[in-house]
Structure 1
Amino acid sequence: MLDAFSRAVISADAKTAYIGADELASLKSYISNQNRRLDAVNFIASNASCIVSDAVAGMICENTGLTQAGGNCYTNRRMAACLRDGEIILRYVTYALLAGDASVLDDRCLNGLKETYSALGVPTTSAARAVAIMKAAAVAFVNNTVSQRKMAVTEGDCSFLATEVAGYFDGVIQVLANHLKRNR
């Protein structure tokens, strides 16, 4: 927030004038958007366990072989690893949403994801499907359209945030899809 305020002050100072109505309206809009961003991050983070467990359950329902002997979710340890990975991905997506910048997601999560999944033999189609389910849930939370879990949020249009968070999930899915193409 300091950057937006600093820019307004520097701009007014360069004009040797007070901060005008246009600058104040711009700052008011900035604050409103940031409050919506914080609400979106809070909504996702508050429901992270449900988002991840529902995504993993959905992935398993679509591919029951994952929980059978030899499947990647067969033992408790493997299931726990799957849930942990989902939580890590969701956490970094929320960090990116909070910052409004995907670099933290790219640097801290996605760069190592390809190598880790390759070394462990994780089926990336299943992982990508779980991420797609998390994406749908997160977008619904950002838009506050989850019927059972409404929250009091800052009024206004959050479609730009829903599009942004969907883009972060799409980036994760793209990394997994690229991994899949290279290993065929």
Structure 2
Amino acid sequence: MFSNDAQCRLLFTKESLMLDAFSRAVVSADASTSCIGSNKISELREYLAAANRRLDAVNAIASNASCMVSDAIAGIICENQGLIQAGGNCYPNRRMAACLRDGEIILRYVTYALLAGDASVLDDRCLNGLKETYAALGVPSTSAVRAVQIMKAQATAHIQDSPSEALAGAKLRKMGTTVAEDRCASLVAEASSYFDRVISALS
């Protein structure tokens, strides 16, 4: 099927696919022309041991994505009413729809990264050139960063299954997944790191 090894390896580069922990181990070993080391195998064992918790974390975010995005956009509007005034970046309705769309795209790629345990898909497909695009469109980076910060806080609450009853009221939705706080701390930290990558890329 392939004329040479270089073409075959092209299929396994970061640019061509989203790497999960296993693919990343293979790519790294192949690049150094060595076998997968025992330390990497230990890391993969840990990845598998936490697989169910990882899926629960992704499900917690994905199941609440629409509310998280709309709450984040509502939050930045509450903090800056100028966004919905004439000339603001959430005015008129089509710009508001674009803000919601972009928030959903960013959150979707964060969940991809969390599922794979790898940020390459987030970097390559979402963050690459995002700051420059927003600058060209006149989108204020401070508002975009603030929306991501709000989604980060929400994601933490949903992964820990501890959304605010005071704020949610009748709309409170818990996943019903009981995970000890210390067991999900690493996933919270990992998810937070992906949001931080977005914030850094926009800043």
Q: Alignment length, in residue pairs? A: 155
Going from structure 1 to structure 2, the CA distance change for 1:165 and 1:2 (only over 3 Å counts) comes to closer
Q: 2:192 aligns with which of 163, 166, 180?
A: 166
Q: Is the contact made by 1:49 and 1:87 (CA closer than 8 Å) also made in structure 2?
A: yes
Residues of 2 paired with 1:159 and 1:105: CA distance?
21
User: Which of residues 57, 62, 70 in structure 1 aligns to 2:87?
Assistant: 70
Amino acid at match of 2:73: V
Cα distance, 1:30 vs. partner?
4.8
1:118 aligns with 2:142: no
Unmatched segments (≥5 aa) in structure 1: 4-22, 178-184
Letter in 1 for 2:191: V
Q: Deviations over 1:71-120 (max 9, x none)?
A: 00010000000000000000000000000011110000000311220121
Q: TM-score scaled to structure 2, two decimals? A: 0.71
Map 1:20-169; keep pairs closer than 5 Å: 30-146=47-163, 147=165, 148-153=172-177, 155-156=179-180, 157-169=183-195
Native 8 Å contact 2:134 2:141 kept in 1: yes
- Aligned CA distance change for structure 1 residues 149 and 155 (closer, same or farther; 3 Å): same
8 Å Cα contact 2:106-2:126 kept in structure 1 = yes
Alignment partner of 2:139: what SS?
coil
Q: Which moved more, 1:115-124 or 1:58-67?
A: 115-124
- Distance 1:40-1:30 versus aligned 2 partners, 3 A rule: same
User: Partners in 2 of 1:93 and 1:145 — Cα distance?
Assistant: 20
- Root-mean-square deviation (CA, aligned residues, Å) is 2.0
Query: Structure 2 regions of 5+ residues with no counterpart?
Result: 1-19, 23-40, 166-171
* Cα 1:2/1:95, change in 2 over 3 Å: closer
TM-score, structure 1 as length reference: 0.79
Sequence identity percentage: 69
Offset, 1:135: 0.4
In 1, the alpha carbon distance for the partners of 2:47 and 2:138 equals 45
Rounded to whole Å, the distance in 2 between the matches of 1:58 and 1:155 is 29
> What letter matches 1:35 in structure 2?
N
| Distance in 1 between residues matched to 2:186 and 2:21, nearest whole Å | 22
Q: 1:136 to 1:96 in 2, by over 3 A?
A: same
Divergent runs of 4+, >2 A: 29-32, 152-156
